[in-house]
């Protein structure tokens, strides 16, 4: 039996989606080994609970994540499968060793990436399709124009963007309707508030916020002595290193006090804070286990009033985090940071 969750619309032209989406990346990549059966059980539990938005990228485990979603959808009850919406990123160029070598947003590449994704997902369309990082050699108008042609052909339903700044938002929106911008947004990553979020709002573009737990840093479950597997993004993320990690976990301790006072967990307070930032924002949560998912969904039952929000922000003031959100080489790919 599928339940219902509150819905939010992705921008003025996008679909209605569950107020929390499930980000599937960690089930295939970047956070160490994941358990395949538990990953599929987590997707099923999410769909059962009423989550309709599944976020992935064709480069998450180089196709692995899309194949996992394919299997989860094939083995889910028909009712939840039919309500599920896929949000897919493309464009990252990979090496056999797993490295990232750049981004390809050329129209021919867009068509090629989409053909492979549809095959791996086992669906006849992708609900929201987006370039993961701007290709500096291809004007955004050309990439968005190519996705618009896929919309015209019925292979894609809506166009999204990822990690772009206000100027690129405007250029893209002049070509075709944009449903949402996917971008990092959390208590400790508030960079979008100055220009990008106001521009998205002016243009009627929704936000799917990722990293709402700062990749586990502000989940309440990360500790100073946690051993990370080789290849875990957190092993290179500036926020998880040495003195930065210590300072950041001190912020989490302060957030824990506020959360405990409200009878919620740290992760729930962090997710509820993002939910409270606007009806046009849909947090993606990177749960890859059912217990983590249940905790994250609990945030939908938490209403932070003005006093609670002030207490949360006093515990984790804007700009208090130590360390950039990506290593320097990856920061250079972020149009949103220019
Ligand atoms: N557009 C982009 O550039 C971009 C970039 C990154 C991600 N994304 C998308 O956004 C999604 C979410 O991002 P993310 O996974 O980095 O961010 P996240 O949700 O901030 O972090 C997920 C991490 O938090 C830990 N965690 C602890 N408690 C949790 C709970 N109750 N619920 C969920 N996670 C909990 C997880 O646990 P454990 O380690 O304990 O399992 C996981 O390692 C990704 O799956 C991906 O689809 C997009």
Kindly report the average pLDDT of the chain as a whole number.
97
In a domain, 2, yes or no: no
Residues in the chain: 338
pLDDT in tens, 136-192: 999 999 999 999 999 999 999 999 999 999 999 999 999 999 999 999 999 999 999
153 located within any domain: yes
Is residue 317 a part of any domain in this protein? yes
Does residue 90 lie within any of the structural domains?
A: yes
As for how many domains the chain has, the answer is: 1
Q: What distance lies between CA 271 and its chain's CA centroid? A: 13
More confident residue, 2 or 214: 214
Ligand 1, from 17, 22, 23: best to mutate by most atoms within 8 Å of Cβ?
Answer: 23
| Average pLDDT of span 41-59 | 98
Tens digit of each residue's pLDDT (9 = 90 or more) over 236-291: 999 999 999 999 999 999 999 999 999 999 999 999 999 999 999 999 999 999 99
Contact 263, 12 (CB under 8 A): no
Per-residue model confidence as pLDDT tens digits over 186-198: 999 999 999 999 9
Q: For residue 219, give both structure tokens.
A: 């989940």
Q: How far apart are CA 229 and CA 270, in angstroms?
A: 25
pLDDT digits (tens, 9 = 90+) for 85-141: 999 999 999 999 889 999 999 999 999 999 999 999 999 999 999 999 999 999 999
Residue nearest to atom 35 of ligand 1 (CA): 287
Domain range holding 98? 7-337
Helix (H, G, I), strand (E, B) or coil at 256: helix
Question: Average pLDDT, stretch 206-215?
Answer: 98
Residues marked as catalytic: 60
pLDDT digits (tens, 9 = 90+) for 280-300: 999 999 999 999 999 999 999
Ligand 1 pocket at CB < 6 A: 23-26, 31, 55, 89, 132, 162-163, 182, 210-216, 219, 221, 267, 284-289, 292, 295-296
Specify the pLDDT at position 15: 98
Which helix H or strand E contains 120, and what residues bound it? helix 107-121
Q: Whose CA is nearest to atom 41 of ligand 1?
A: 288
The rounded Å distance from CA 287 to ligand 1 centre is 6
pLDDT at 20 over 70: yes
Element (H, E) at 172: helix 166-173
Is 307 a member of any domain? Answer: yes
Residue 330 located in a structural domain = yes
- Residue nearest ligand 1's atom 21 by CA: 215
Query: Rounded to two decimals, what is the model's pTM?
Result: 0.97
Q: What pLDDT sits at residue 1?
A: 52
At 179, which CATH number? Answer: 3.20.20.100
Return d(Cα 290, Cα 72) in angstroms, integer: 14
Structure confidence at residue 4 (pLDDT): 86
């Amino acid at each position: 039996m599928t339940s219902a969750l509150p819905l939010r619309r992705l921008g003025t032209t996008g679909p209605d989606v569950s107020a929390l989406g499930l980000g599937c990346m960690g089930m295939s990549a970047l956070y160490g080994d994941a358990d395949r059966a538990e990953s599929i059980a987590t997707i099923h539990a999410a769909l059962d609970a009423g989550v309709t938005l599944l976020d992935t990228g064709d480069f998450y485990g180089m196709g692995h994540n899309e194949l996992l979603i394919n299997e989860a959808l094939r083995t889910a009850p028909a009712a939840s499968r039919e309500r599920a919406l896929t949000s897919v990123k493309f464009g990252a160029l990979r090496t056999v060793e797993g490295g990232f070598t750049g981004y390809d947003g050329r129209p021919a590449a867009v068509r090629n990436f989409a053909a492979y994704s549809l095959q791996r997902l086992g669906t006849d369309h992708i609900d929201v399709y987006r370039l993961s990082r701007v290709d500096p050699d291809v004007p955004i108008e050309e990439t968005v124009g190519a996705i618009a042609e896929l919309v015209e052909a019925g292979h894609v339903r809506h166009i999204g963007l990822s990690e772009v700044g206000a100027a690129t938002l405007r250029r893209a929106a002049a070509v075709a309707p944009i449903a949402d911008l996917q971008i990092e947004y959390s208590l400790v990553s508030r960079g979008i508030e100055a220009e990008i979020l106001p521009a998205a709002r002016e243009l009627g573009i929704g936000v799917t916020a990722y990293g709402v737990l700062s990749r586990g840093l502000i989940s309440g479950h990360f500790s100073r002595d946690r051993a990370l597997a080789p290849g875990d993004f957190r092993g290179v993320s500036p926020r998880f290193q040495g003195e930065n990690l210590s300072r950041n976990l001190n912020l989490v301790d302060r957030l824990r006090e506020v959360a405990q006072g409200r009878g919620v967990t740290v992760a729930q307070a962090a997710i509820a804070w993002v939910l409270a930032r606007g009806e046009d924002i849909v947090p993606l949560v990177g749960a890859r286990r059912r217990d983590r998912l249940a905790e994250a969904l609990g945030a939908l039952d938490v209403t932070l009033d003005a006093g609670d929000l002030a207490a949360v922000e006093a515990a984790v003031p804007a700009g208090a985090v130590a360390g950039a959100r990506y290593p320097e080489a990856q920061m250079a790919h972020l149009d949103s940071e220019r």
